[in-house]
Amino acid sequence: KLSNADRDYLLQLQRGAGALRRDMTASAIQREIYRFGSSCARELALLAWAQDPSQGEAQNRTWCEVLAIIDAAPTHTLPVTGADILSEGVEPGVLVGDLLRRTESWWIEGDFKADSNI
């Protein structure tokens, strides 16, 4: 019998199948690392590499580069919380979560940086 944590991890691997490809940009890989976590992203890359029908040295180096990006990736934490949104005068409720999700999407698409181009 699996623990709940093990079950959840296997389900996350299943959901992430195909999320990583060797032709992805470093920014796209970073987004998947944020989405799945570095440990899961590494396993997803290894699974994709094992299923990659391409052969040859160049393919191996490319997957090794993907793994190097994953291994070197910083841990990103959204710098805004629901408390921050509430402190700006937004009433508690569904809008807080909506604003937080929209802010997170904007932040991720901006390569985990916030600037004044909103």
Q: What is the pLDDT of residue 59?
A: 60
Location of structure tokens 């629901």: 82
pLDDT exceeds 60 at position 91: yes
Report the pLDDT averaged over residues 59-81: 89
How far apart CA 78 and CA 104 sit, in angstroms, is 7
Report the pLDDT averaged over residues 56-78: 85
Mean pLDDT check: name the lowest of 5-14, 39-48, 50-59. Answer: 50-59
Collect contacts of 62-67 with beta carbons under 8 A, ≥24 apart: 62/22, 62/23, 63/22, 65/22, 66/20, 66/22, 66/24, 66/29, 67/42
pLDDT exceeds 80 at position 27: yes
Pinpoint the alpha helices (H) of the chain: 4-16, 26-36, 38-51, 57-72, 82-87, 94-109
